[in-house]
Structure 1
Amino acid sequence: MKKFFQQYYTNLFLNDRLFAALAFCILLFLLKFFFAWLGDIPEIATGVLVALFFVDAFILYRIKEGLEARRFTSKRLSNGDENPIQIEVKNRYGFIVNARIIDEIPFQFQLRDKDFRLSLKSAEVKSIHYNLRPTKRGEYDFGLIRAYISSPIGLISRRYNFDGAKVLPVYPSFINLGQYELMAISHHLTEMGIKKIRKVGNSSEFDQIKNYVGGDDIRTINWKATARKGGLMVNTYTDERSQNIYCIIDKSRVMRMPFEGLSLLDYAINATVALSKVAMLKEDKAGLITISENIGAIVPADRKSAQLGNIMNVLYKEKTRYLESNLEALYSSVRAVVKQRGLLVFFTNFESLSALQRQMPYLKRLSKYHLLLVVFFENTELKTLSNEPAKDVEGIYHKTIAEKFIYEKKLMVKELSKHGILSILTPPQKLTVNVINQYLALKAQQRI
């Protein structure tokens, strides 16, 4: 009996049409006191309504599974990107039904508008498409798919609960990785904002000896081979390969600043994944180090096929901390882990020149043994404020302070350059492109 009650009554809901019909019947009874000619019309109308109610309930509940709904998603979601979600609904009734579909999406989105209404003919299948844009990494719990079905009578609705519950991990942005891979292979990275860099000189890795053709550098002529063959022969070289490219991500409080829903840490993580992908396509080794008050994760540089997955699995649950980074521990770890000279891309942020100067001794030590590239961020809100005209004295103060902080950022670039340390000062939304541009420029200049 309890099971019967749960199956039929807990999933039965009264529609607005039923309440409107009841209100009409009550009105007829009230009017009967003033108009005797109405006679038995109120009783007849009420009887017809009760009969329609039971008929409506019968046709909705006579089929045990009158509707089918399934949710289709990828195995993981991409942080900061639009992820497609699909719900497929099939009508098993022999008549047209009106459906209201509610998808219980993860609470992190704080959305209550995933409520879809559609009409389905008998045996018809329809798909619902929408996108979700997560702004935090971690695990996201999807709940049930709830469907409220009404017949053409429309007095009541029957609820179906479909078990679409699943936990999906949100990984660092990977949707655009395929585009970077395709562009890198086809040498069309300029279409995504990646600059084409002219190569300077030759690399030191010998490839082969070939016949001289017009346009070859005469300085590469191999005179011994020319004497043996009786024609001009030249040496050809290839880019140096298998260089160590380590991305170092600062997880301290300076990376908590939000921009368009994502923290600076998330932007750094997305750029790290993209740079690692491009580096491995260029046959370099990609590695990872995370740092806060202590050393976090360390992924030794490698170029095997599973390396990108290893990096993403580490970055998947990384969170910002509340203390300042310990660069002394970073220096010790780099010296212990990175035995061969390589490129260190350090994602961090400095809001004042004094903050940079506190860390400068450690940055200088790192740059002594490796090619160090420090990446930090422009404060785009301050830049917007400085460009707005001041309307009063308080506005002048705000504009002046904003310009002071912007000028300090430029001084930081000069301070790093003075000590022979490369740097990138970039808006968060252009981080990935600017970092890859710099990496390709360094490869072309044969500095790595």
Structure 2
Amino acid sequence: MEFEQIKDYVPGDDVRNINWKASAKRGQLMLNQYQDEKSQPVYSVIDKGRVMKMPFEGMKLIDYAINATLVISNIALKKGDKAGMFGFSDRISNQVVAQKRASQMNLILETLYNVDTDFKESDFSRLYIDVKRKITNRSLLLLYTNFETLDALHRQLPYLQAIAKNHLLVIIFFENTELKEMLIEEVDTTREIFDKTIAEKFIYEKKLIVNELNKYGIQTILTEPQHLTVNTINKYLEIKARGLL
């Protein structure tokens, strides 16, 4: 609940909300009035592990995640939500607690400046522990990471499920555009046919990852890097419109 105003007490009001200090000043009972909290915490969670170092058109995947975080944070604040962020690999770092104060965008921008991959293996078990300890209110968590195989997902799935029990979790990961380009190329040699078959397998596996996450109620965005920001904005607006948070 968010504080709205102090008003005159009328019979039937909840006496637990009486503002005794204001009542003493006015010489009559005054009441703190609250409204349902409309602003929701929106966290951008950036995987800083080595899966995010993959290059695409002169940038790493983490760079696309940083750009998307900057834009979605600004939009969330303009929509009246609280914007925050943090990075993680073997631990949480670069944390900005979700707020909607005037200086929030500057704080997020300064923090994003120091975010980069650290080439470590991302520890999703530690992510779950830190999220449980540090983010107590139900929040929208936009998790930028990358899964290439179902096996890689299954190793982390128990922790993602645990996070999703208390928060609205959206897993955002990337299509391999180089593999997609291979599918439209003409093939002549046995080697080229083999490479194209492998490419088809990996592309199909990405779709299986989406299905697996959706099966457990975890929302997803599978996107080409250059479309990351737009697709993240659309997902956020969809969640707002459907009142899911």
Matched, 1:324 2:121: yes
Offset at residue 239 of structure 1 (A)? 10
> Which ranges of 4 or more aligned residues in structure 1 deviate by more than 2 Å?
238-241
Task: Report the equivalent of 1:304.
Answer: 101
- Out of 128, 137, 151, the position equivalent to 1:354 is 151
Task: Report the equivalent of 2:53.
Answer: 256
Q: CA RMSD in A?
A: 1.5
Matched, 1:447 2:244: yes
- Structure 2, unmatched stretches of 5+, are 3-34
3-state DSSP of counterpart to 2:45: strand
Deviates more, 1:294-303 or 1:363-372: 294-303
Residue identity in the other structure for 2:209: M
Q: How does 1:277-292 map to 2 (within 5 A)?
A: 277-292=74-89
Task: Report the equivalent of 2:29.
Answer: none
3-state DSSP of counterpart to 1:369: coil
Task: Report the equivalent of 1:425.
Answer: 222
3-state DSSP of counterpart to 1:305: coil
Task: Report the equivalent of 2:25.
Answer: none
**Identity fraction in percent:** 51
Contact 1:300–1:337 at 8 Å: present in 2 too?
Answer: no
3-state DSSP of counterpart to 2:232: helix
Offset at residue 304 of structure 1 (A)? 0.8
Task: Report the equivalent of 1:338.
Answer: 135
Residue identity in the other structure for 2:109: M
Task: Report the equivalent of 2:179.
Answer: 382
Larger strand proportion of the pair: 1
Contact 1:294–1:329 at 8 Å: present in 2 too?
Answer: yes
Q: How does 1:127-276 map to 2 (within 5 A)?
A: 241-276=38-73
Q: What does the per-residue CA deviation read over 1:142-173, in whole Å, with 9 as the maximum and x for residues that have no partner?
A: xxxxxxxxxxxxxxxxxxxxxxxxxxxxxxxx
Aligned counterparts of 1:279 and 1:318: Cα–Cα separation in 2: 20
Task: Report the equivalent of 1:404.
Answer: 201
Aligned counterparts of 2:111 and 2:186: Cα–Cα separation in 1: 45
Contact 2:94–2:115 at 8 Å: present in 1 too?
Answer: no
Matched, 1:414 2:215: no
Offset at residue 346 of structure 1 (A)? 0.3
Residue identity in the other structure for 1:274: V
3-state DSSP of counterpart to 1:333: helix
Structure 2 CA distance for partners of 1:396 and 1:240, relative to 1, 3 Å? farther
Q: What does the per-residue CA deviation read over 1:201-235, in whole Å, with 9 as the maximum and x for residues that have no partner?
A: xxxx9xxxxxxxxxxxxxxxxxxxxxxxxxxxxxx
TM-score by length of 2: 0.84
Task: Report the equivalent of 2:21.
Answer: none
Offset at residue 329 of structure 1 (A)? 1.4
Aligned counterparts of 1:397 and 1:425: Cα–Cα separation in 2: 25
Q: How does 1:39-188 map to 2 (within 5 A)?
A: none
Aligned counterparts of 1:442 and 1:319: Cα–Cα separation in 2: 28
Offset at residue 312 of structure 1 (A)? 1.1
TM-score by length of 1: 0.46
- Out of 189, 202, 208, the position equivalent to 1:392 is 189
Aligned counterparts of 2:172 and 2:242: Cα–Cα separation in 1: 19
Aligned counterparts of 1:315 and 1:258: Cα–Cα separation in 2: 19
Contact 2:47–2:145 at 8 Å: present in 1 too?
Answer: yes
Aligned counterparts of 2:40 and 2:175: Cα–Cα separation in 1: 29
Higher relative contact order (CA 8 A, sep 6+): 2
- Structure 1 or 2, whichever has the larger Rg, is 1
